[in-house]
Amino acid sequence: MTDVLREQKRYYAERAPEYDDWWYRRGRYTREPELERRWLLDVAELEEALRIFAPRGDVLELAAGTGIWTRRLVPTADRVVAVDANAETLALNTPAAELVVADIFTWEPPQRFDVVFFSFWHSHVPEERIDDFWALVRSALQPEGRVFVVDSGPRGDATGDGKQVRQLADGREFTIVKHYWRPDQLRERLLPLGFSLDLRLTANSHFLYGGGVLV
């Protein structure tokens, strides 16, 4: 693991107890009412898209974190295997999924799944690992398997080298990978890797999302 990936892992371990404040817009993440309303509209758009996608069968979630999405995968799936690098985040996830602590870049899927899902993970994969990461996704999927991706919408606050300095509530700083993708750009990047994804932004551009298949 490179230094920045180690630091990124540690950042999410330390952030575990405060992670959900970001999603639920609490404390230092609170914004003014109209911005909050637009965030909630975008969240509803993601949930509706996932509902229509209908993650059925054996579902693998990568970088499952505190389980904001794991809890939405369980009801439609037969089984959910939720992998995360940190035990600290999985401790806040749901035991209704099979929780696996493992480094996603070295983990070998023990079976093939019907669906691979990951949220707010792809933007944390360094460019030089994108090919390997999608090779892992491929190796984890049934031939007819499907993928669903949720991530941050594109914005201008990453440095040119795709890194960000993040601060915890107590002020500690960590350098992490954050590579924002535009839907068309990510779609094109993935086609030669054998994935056809229908990606888009939510109405208020907070999130990139979409589903797809192996080609």
Minimum distance, C-beta of residue 17 to a second copy, in the bound complex (Å)? 10
Minimum distance, C-beta of residue 79 to a second copy, in the bound complex (Å)? 10
Residue from 6, 28, 37, 182 that binds a second copy (CB under 8 A)? 37
Binders in 55-94 for a second copy, by CB under 8 A: 67, 71-72, 74-76, 92, 94
Question: Site for a second copy (CB under 8 A): how many residues?
Answer: 25
Minimum distance, C-beta of residue 208 to a second copy, in the bound complex (Å)? 19
Residue from 43, 100, 158, 213 that binds a second copy (CB under 8 A)? 43
Residue from 2, 6, 26, 155 that binds a second copy (CB under 8 A)? 26
Binding of residue 215 to a second copy (CB under 8 A): no
Whole-angstrom distance, CA of residue 129 vs CA of residue 158 = 18
Binding of residue 32 to a second copy (CB under 8 A): yes
Task: Please say which residue, 92 or 193, places its beta carbon nearer to a second copy.
Answer: 92
Task: Please say which residue, 14 or 21, places its beta carbon nearer to a second copy.
Answer: 21
Binding of residue 24 to a second copy (CB under 8 A): yes
Instruction: Map the chain to HEC letters.
Output: CCHHHHHHHHHHHHHHHHHHHHHCCCHHHCCCHHHHHHHHHHHHHHHHHHHHHCCCCEEEEECCCCCCCHHHHCCCCCEEEEEECCHHHHCCCCCCCEEEECCCCCCCCCCCEEEEEEECCHHHCCHHHHHHHHHHHHHHEEEEEEEEEEEECCCCCCCCCCEEEEECCCCCEEEEECCCCCHHHHHHHHHHHCEEEEEEECCCCCEEEEEEEEC
Q: What are phi and psi of 154, to 5 degrees?
A: -65, 140
Binding to a second copy by CB under 8 A, coded x per residue (else -) over 88-127, reads ----x-xxx-------------------------------
Instruction: Give residue 65's Cα distance to chain centre.
Output: 9
Question: Which are the contacts of 49, defined by CB distance < 8 A and separation ≥ 6?
Answer: 209, 210, 211
28-36, 53-61, 101-109, 145-153 -> range binding a second copy (CB under 8 A): 28-36
Which residues would be at the binding site for a second copy (CB under 8 A)? 24-26, 30-34, 36-37, 39-41, 43-44, 67, 71-72, 74-76, 92, 94-96
